[in-house]
């Protein structure tokens, strides 16, 4: 299926997990992709997988730190120049840290908000002029099931993802008449670099019973931190739909992809 021939995408968080899977899916459907991440090593792995699939010729790597404004300004400009314009933006980059809320230091709170929420804003701000050159364009931001459902020890992360969700609604309304669609995906119980690292971030004295309701009801073959997880390709397929004409009437909303964890 080549729904995305001649489609030009900038995708952040492309070095691993859902971001990497989405790069591969968009390339498979015919898109040209600038894959951005702070990890040069991870980006090379993404390139290797693209080359194995025979779609590497439409992939460009971009080392960009969404937590640094100048890096984003320079990176988005480079991506637009490389692609000759921009049809969609996918903001998959982000971090997760966990701690008891009463002992969360302000610098940790600020780090999570700065990368997840402010970083998403800066990338969107810099990409908007290029996106609005088109009569139809799309932004897909990454929220999380934690934005709407309780995830213990993750108050800062949940706040950042809730902010992304509200931000996405706002820009969907602001730019809808100019043909821009803005949508959130809200993954949950999806195996990724973040979920693999989560057990290492959870406080040593955590009450693991609080995580009892955070399991998918659909059967899964993957695990992360001892819990059943879905494949990142499940989210990648939804994103491919959203940036294609199949998603042409979807905007100002979020799509939860969690295998029924929060059914």
Active site (catalytic) residues: 157
Structure tokens at 126: 């810099």
Per the CB < 8 A criterion, the answer to whether 9 and 24 are in contact is no
Vertex 95 angle, CA 107 and 4, to 5°: 145
- How many Å apart are CA 143 and CA 95, to the nearest integer? 12
CA distance 71 to 37: 11
Angle between helices 119-131 and 155-175 (to 10 degrees): 20
Q: Which DSSP letter does residue 113 get?
A: I
């Amino acid at each position: 299926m080549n729904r995305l021939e001649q489609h030009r995408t900038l995708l952040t968080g492309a070095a691993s997990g859902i971001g990497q899977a989405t790069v591969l899916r968009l390339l498979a459907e015919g898109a040209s992709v600038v894959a951005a991440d702070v990890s040069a090593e991870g980006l090379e792995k993404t390139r290797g997988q693209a080359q194995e699939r025979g779609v590497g010729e439409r992939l460009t790597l971009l080392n960009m730190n969404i937590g640094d404004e100048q890096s984003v300004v320079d990176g988005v400009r480079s991506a637009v120049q490389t692609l000759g314009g921009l049809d969609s933006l996918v903001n998959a980059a982000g971090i997760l840290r966990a701690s008891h809320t009463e002992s969360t230091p302000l610098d940790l709170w600020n780090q999570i908000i700065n990368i997840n929420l402010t970083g998403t804003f800066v990338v969107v701000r810099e990409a908007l002029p290029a996106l609005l050159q088109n009569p139809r364009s799309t932004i897909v931001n990454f929220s999380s099931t934690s934005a709407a459902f309780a995830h213990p020890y993750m108050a800062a992360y949940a706040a950042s993802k809730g902010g992304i969700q509200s931000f996405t609604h706002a820009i969907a309304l602001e730019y809808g008449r100019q043909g821009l669609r803005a949508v959130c995906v809200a993954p949950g119980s999806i195996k990724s670099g973040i979920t693999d690292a989560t057990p290492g971030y959870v406080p040593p004295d955590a009450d693991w019973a609080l995580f009892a309701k955070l399991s998918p009801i659909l059967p899964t073959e993957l695990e992360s931190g001892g819990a059943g997880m879905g494949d990142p390709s499940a989210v990648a397929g939804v994103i491919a739909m959203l940036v294609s004409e199949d998603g042409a009437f979807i905007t100002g909303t979020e799509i939860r992809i969690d295998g029924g964890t929060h059914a």
